[in-house]
Homo-oligomer: A and B are copies of this chain.
Amino acid sequence: MPICDPERSEAGAALTALILDLFRLSNRMLAAGDRLVAGLGLTSARWQVLGSIVAAERPQPVAWLARDMGANRQNVQRIVNDLAAEGLVDFQANPHHRRAQLVVLTARGRDAFAAAMRLQAPWINRLSEGLSVPDIGTTHAVVTALERKLDSDTKD
């Protein structure tokens, strides 16, 4: 769908065509994730926050989690507060900062995240059927390369 292409390089044109599909896929993935874990009282956003907590080596304050996710500090704060209200996460005193408490998973939080990942496994296996592992790797490389470029652009 080359809408109007006056001065685009070959790679630029290819990338333009890719971006619209990228948005579509991202929306569908989020929607699919929401459906997948709705029964656990989770959403894609909450799941992602829990994942960031799990992925971190040590407990982190909210602002650090937000930075890891590339998301807004305030939104992550709200989600973490919601999760705390439902007993999925808890706060620990931070020896290095009185206000910035550390976020940790409760037992229920760990269970919820594990349950989500158990639901995700057969779903992602089915979704990946017929895709070649090298192609997925190439896709991942292109995506992360674009991320890096956008990051350095923003910092200029």
A residues within 8 Å of B by Cβ?
1, 3-4, 6-12, 14-30, 32, 48, 51, 54-55, 69-71, 114, 117-118, 120-122, 124-125, 127-133, 135-147, 149-151, 153-154
Contact B129 A11 (CB under 8 A): yes
Q: Is the interface of A mostly helix, strand, loop or mixed?
A: helix
Min CB gap A68→B, angstroms: 10
Residues of B within 8 A of A32 (CB): 150, 153-154
Which residues of chain B come closer than 8 Å to A141, judged between CB atoms? 135
The one of B11, B23, B138 that contacts A29, using a Cβ cutoff of 8 Å: B23
The answer on a CB contact under 8 Å between B139 and A70 is no
A12 contact from B7, B18, B121, B138, Cβ within 8 A: B121
Within the complex, what minimum Cβ distance (angstroms) separates A133 from chain B?
5
- Minimum C-beta distance from A2 to chain B (A): 10
Contact (Cβ within 8 A) B124 A21: no
